[in-house]
A = this chain, B = another copy of it.
Amino acid sequence: MVRFENAFNSTLSKKAKKRVDTVFLAIKKEKSEKKVGYYSLPQKSKKLLKEINVYKKNNPFFSKQEINDIVIMGIGGSTLGTKAIYEALKHQYSQKRELHFLENCDSIQIEETLGKIKKEKTLFMVISKSGTTIETISIFKHILEEYKFDLSDQKQANQFVIITDEGSSLNAFANEYNIQQFFIPANVGGRFSVLSAVGVVPLSLMEFDVKALLKGAKEFGQSFFKKEQTSLLHKAYHYYKNINKQPINVMFTYSTRLQYFNQWYVQLWGESLGKKNELDKKVGLTPIGLVGSVDQHSFLQLIIQGPENKTVTFISIDDFGKKINIPKIKLPHLEKCDFANGSSFTKLLNAQCAATKESLEEEGIVVDEIKLTTLDEKNVGTLICYYEILTSVMGKFLKINTYDQPGVEFGKIKLVKKFEKR
Contacts and interface: CB of A to CB of B under 8 A. Distances in A.
Interface of A: 75-77, 80, 91, 103-112, 131-135, 137-138, 140-142, 144-145, 169-170, 172-173, 176, 190, 247-248, 255-257, 263, 266-267, 270-271, 273-276, 282-286, 288, 291, 293-294, 296-310, 320-324, 326-327, 329, 331-334, 336-337, 339-341, 343-346, 348-349, 351-352, 354-356, 358-359, 362, 405-408, 410-412, 414-416, 418-420
B337 A106 contact: no
Given A334-B132, A355-B414, A356-B411, A302 B284 contact: yes
A260 to B, nearest CB: 12
Given A104-B293, A270-B299, 18 more contacts: A91-B108, A105-B293, A108-B320, A110-B324, A132-B337, A138-B326, A142-B326, A142-B327, A172-B333, A173-B333, A266-B299, A284-B305, A286-B302, A300-B407, A343-B419, A352-B411, A354-B418, A362-B410
Contacts of A309: 247, 286
A270 B283 contact: no
15 contacts: A104-B291, A105-B349, A132-B336, A137-B331, A141-B331, A145-B327, A169-B333, A169-B334, A170-B334, A173-B331, A266-B299, A267-B299, A275-B301, A284-B302, A355-B411
Chain A facing B: main interface SS: helix
B267 A298 contact: yes
Contacts of A247: 307, 309
Copy count, this protein chain: 2
B307 A284 contact: yes
A310 B412 CA distance: 21
A346 B131 CA distance: 22
B334 A298 contact: no
B91 A414 contact: no
